[in-house]
């Protein structure tokens, strides 16, 4: 229902793609011997029942340094020099087009001059 399974295929660098409707572990006893009913789960180990939920398709709101909401496909500009490890620096003013939003503390997956970067949204602004 509204899951975009096809989207999983093109994710770069093995980003985690949650399988759809896998059986959850029991929230009461943490075992995963779980029975599936039409609208709820039942733990066959301890009998705990709990409602089904849509897989948490992350309705994330990612905001740039100015508080503007970023969306997939947006273009962004880096607002400060970012150290990349070693002596490399991603310069303020670097631009990326067609960003992707991903889970994690670096919310933006993008390419700058052909190199893939994961950036924190607080260090960019919408271009």
Size of interface with Zn ion, in residues (CB under 5 A): 7
Provide the 8-state DSSP code for 45.
T
Quick one: 42 or 126, whose CB is closer to Zn ion?
42
Residue 54 CB, shortest distance to Zn ion, in Å, is 21
Residue in the block written with tokens 């660098």: 13
Q: Which stretch binds Zn ion (CB under 5 A): 18-26, 63-71, 95-103, 115-123?
A: 18-26
Report if residue 34 touches Zn ion, rule: CB under 5 A.
Answer: no
How far is the C-alpha of 97 from the C-alpha of 85, rounded, in Å?
23
The Cα-based distances of 115 to 103, 111, 124 in angstroms read 20, 5, 17
Which secondary-structure segment (H or E) carries 2?
none
Which secondary-structure segment (H or E) carries 109?
strand 108-112
Q: Kindly state the tokens that stand for 12.
A: 């770069």
| 35-94: contacts with Zn ion (CB under 5 A) | 43, 45-46, 48
Report if residue 121 touches Zn ion, rule: CB under 5 A.
Answer: no
> Using CB under 5 A, which of 29, 58, 69, 92 touches Zn ion?
29
> Using CB under 5 A, which of 17, 21, 28, 69 touches Zn ion?
28
Q: By CB under 5 A, name the binding residues for Zn ion.
A: 26, 28-29, 43, 45-46, 48
């Amino acid at each position: 229902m509204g899951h975009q399974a096809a989207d999983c295929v093109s994710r770069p660098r093995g980003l985690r793609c949650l399988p759809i409707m896998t059986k959850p572990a029991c929230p009461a006893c943490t075992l995963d011997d779980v029975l599936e009913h039409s609208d709820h789960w039942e733990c066959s180990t301890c009998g705990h029942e709990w409602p089904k939920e849509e897989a948490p398709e992350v309705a994330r709101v990612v905001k740039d340094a100015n508080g503007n909401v970023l969306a997939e496909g947006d273009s962004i500009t880096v607002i400060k020099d970012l150290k990349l490890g070693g002596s490399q620096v991603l310069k303020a003013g670097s631009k990326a087009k067609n960003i992707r939003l991903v889970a994690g503390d670096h919310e933006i997956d993008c390419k700058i001059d052909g190199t893939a970067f994961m950036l924190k949204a607080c260090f960019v602004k919408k271009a």
